Amino acid sequence: MRSSSLTLLAICLAFGLGACGKRAEGPATMSAPAAAVASDAAAPKSEAATAKPSGRDPATTAAAPPALTMPQLAYSYSAEIEASADTLPGLVARHEAACRAAGASVCQITAMSVASDGGVRAHIGLRAQPDWLQGFRGRLSVDAQAAGGRVLKSNAVSEDLSRQLVDTEAALRAKTLLAQRLEGLLANRQGKLTDLLEVEKQLSDTQGEIDAARSELAMMRARVATSEMTLDYSAPAALGAVWAPVSQATKGATGVFASGVGMLISVAAAIGPFAILGGLIAWIVRRAVAHKGGKGAVRKD
């Protein structure tokens, strides 16, 4: 009786442990078909999450606006300054010195003249970097006031060289490509001598056009990179200078009168001998006629 009870207890314990094992393995493990289904379902999500675009969206690319380029502008400035005749030369010298002190890489004097005809006039032409020129232009009014003068006029003009730059660059590329092809033809040396000479002449002409295009391109780029300015200075004429035209006219009239008298003397000197000779001949003729008439009257008596 006791042994049968122990046997029954052992059987119950065995069944209980088996059930607990199944409950522990159920949540942690999965059958093969279920695992396959789960992996197939998770795969698209994983690929969608990790996939990277290979390029831009065509629709987005087509809708993107074209890149904008800055216009290539060449600026030219001018100013007219008035000051007294005593202070104007010093003002001109200060502006010239300011440009030269900045250095040739920043500012260059392109023209300069000073004239004095009653009043004082001067002219300075320069080309400089835009930043330096902006500060120089800002000080013009202060410099003129310090010299007892003023800025009468200031002007700024710009020229858009964008189209010319693009056209010149395109022409330069085309000419360079043509020159390369012509050089290739000469290197192969195929064809008649006359044809090779014609190709060589065309290559020489093309190279000349390339050099001219490069020079023009460099000049336009320099105009864009720097700005030019002209300064015209003037001083009011003094009271004596106001009557200078009258004095000059009087001197001119005296000169004209003297020139006329000199011309009359020259004419008299030229025709004088002929006039004397003609008068002498006329006197002789009259004497001869009178003497002949006297003889005729005596015979008639």
Domain boundaries in the chain? 73-159, 162-225
One-letter amino acid of 257: F
DSSP 3-state helix, strand, coil percentages of the chain (rounded to 5)? 70, 15, 15
Q: Which residues lie below 8 Å from residue 244, measured CB to CB, with a gap of 6+?
A: 118, 237
Phi and psi of 73, rounded to 5°? -105, 135
Distance CA 2, CA 6 (A): 6
The pLDDT of residue 247 is 56
The pLDDT of residue 118 is 66
pLDDT < 50: residue spans in the chain: 1-68, 239-241, 301
Asked if CATH classification 1.10.150 holds for the domain at 73-159, the reply, yes or no, is no
End-to-end CA distance of the chain: 233
The pLDDT of residue 39 is 40
Element (H, E) at 160: strand 150-160
C-alpha distance from residue 134 to each of 82, 129, 209, 228 (Å): 21, 9, 37, 11
Phi and psi of 92, rounded to 5°? -65, -40
Closest CA to 159 of 69, 73, 223: 73
Distance CA 63, CA 60 (A): 5
The pLDDT of residue 282 is 81
List, in sequence order, every residue forming a beta bridge with 111; answer none if it has no partner: 125
Element (H, E) at 106: none
Q: Which residues lie below 8 Å from residue 178, measured CB to CB, with a gap of 6+?
A: 206
Element (H, E) at 222: helix 193-225
- Tokens, residue 167: 């056209």
Would you tell me how many other CB atoms lie within 10 Å of the CB of residue 99?
A: 23
